[in-house]
Structures are given as C-alpha cells and as structure tokens.
Amino acid sequence: MKRGVVVTHIGRADPREVAALQQAGAATVHEAQSRLGLLASYMRPIYSGAAIAGSAITVLVPPSDNWMLHVAVEQCRAGDVLVVAPTSPCEDGYFGELLATSLAARGVRGLIIDAGCRDVRVLKEMNFPVWSKAVSAQGTVKETLGSVNVPVACAQQIVHPGDVIVADDDGVVVVPLATVSRVAEAAQARLAKEEKTHSVLASGTLGLDYYGMRDKLSEKGLRYVGSIEEA
C-alpha cells in the first residue's frame, strides 16, 4: 500500500505448474485450494471461451488514472497476467487497444482489472482476453502515481506479485506463489476424480447413491411424503 513504487524483481511459478492450473480451470482450482482465492463474481470476461493462467504483475492505480499501466508494461514478461486494482472504486475504461498491443508484443496472456476496459471488439479480434468489472469508453488521465508489483486487493482477494492467476468463463482465482505446486497437484487429482464421477453419473447412477448420502440425509431428518398436504 505504498504509492510511487515499482518493484522490479518478483518470483514466478514453474511454467509446467502454471499450465497444470490452466488445464484444471478456475472452478477446480478453487476447490483444490479449499475454496479460497476466488475474485468477486462481478469480474466477467469480455468475451466467452478464453481460459488462461499466468504470473501476476500487480498494478495499484488511482481512480480514473491509468498512468501506472504504462509503467507496468515494462515489468511484464511472456506468460504474465496483468492484475489491476484501483485505490477507490472506479468503472472507467483504463485499458484498450493500444495497451493491449504493447502487452501482446511482450507475450502477456491477459488482463484482470477491477475497473473498466474498452475497445472490446478489437480485443476480441486480437484474442487478448480481459476479465473486468465493466466495459466503458470513458478514458482516464495520467496525473497521479500508483505502484507496480505491490500486494493489491483486487475484487475482494489479495493478490501478490508472482501469484498465479487462473481465469476462464467461471471467473478468476488467485493461487499464492508458495502453494502453486501443491495446488496444481491437488487440482489434477480432482480432475481425475471428477472425470470418473462424470462417467458414473452419465450412466444414470444417482449422486445420492454414488456419494452415499442417503444415511446422513435421513439422520438429519429428511422425510419423503407423497404430497404437500402430508408435509
């Protein structure tokens, strides 16, 4: 929570583990880390179908001022994801085609912004995915400093630089750098288990039976009655 600071060296996760998290997707990763780290559900993709994972470059920005985004570009490497949080709530369009062009030129995988973005048709054509709080043509000024690569509170979660972001149509999850390896493994294990469960349920077996829920439900007092009058 310092203004006017750019941290130039950050840790990044092993690309194979990032790939494993991306494959698992936001919902499975969220489950795999005990249902922690999900950004608020108002963070929606500007187009459907995108699915990414990458190391967070974080940016703290003043309201209606996107100056620090230009500073942040230089700190990005291939495989990174830009994560932008305003110091006070704002839905203006901090980000558009030109910044996306710069990020794409550096191999950045996408943008997570707890504010607005614009040029959404072009971003879709560029295949540059954005998860944002709003779409807004409202531009911003370049007057006040923020910071790059400091911890930020983005859409109700803490994101540290270097944490791994997993984003798809279900939303955005942050995985702390120190736990990436463990979470990636757990997510892959869940995937395998879900696949098996999927085929059982597809065959018509009830979850009630497959998960063995009937006894516990009965114990809690669940009653089956023929009609509402008997309830």
Residues 61-80 that bind a copy of itself (CB under 8 A): 62-65, 67, 70-71, 73-74
How big is the site for a copy of itself, counted in residues (CB under 8 A)?
A: 109
* Contacts to a copy of itself from residues 27-46, by CB under 8 A: 27, 30-31, 34-38, 40-41, 44
Question: What is the distance, to the nearest Å, from the Cα of residue 14 to the centroid of all Cα atoms in its chain?
Answer: 18
Site membership for a copy of itself, residue 6 (CB under 8 A):
yes
Q: Give a three-class secondary structure readout of 19-42.
A: HHHHHHHHHHHHHHCCCCCECCCC
Q: Least distance from C-beta 186 to a copy of itself, angstroms?
A: 13
Site membership for a copy of itself, residue 23 (CB under 8 A):
no
* Contacts to a copy of itself from residues 76-105, by CB under 8 A: 85, 87-93, 96-99, 101-102, 104-105
Beta strands at 147-148 and 52-61: parallel, antiparallel or unpaired: antiparallel
Q: Least distance from C-beta 198 to a copy of itself, angstroms?
A: 6
* Contacts to a copy of itself from residues 119-178, by CB under 8 A: 119-121, 124, 134-139, 141-145, 147, 149-153, 156-158, 161, 168-171, 173, 176
Distances 133 to 93, 112, 148 between C-alpha atoms, Å = 10, 9, 20
Beta strands in 19-154 (DSSP E): 44-45, 52-61, 80-86, 93-95, 110-117, 130-135, 147-148, 152-154
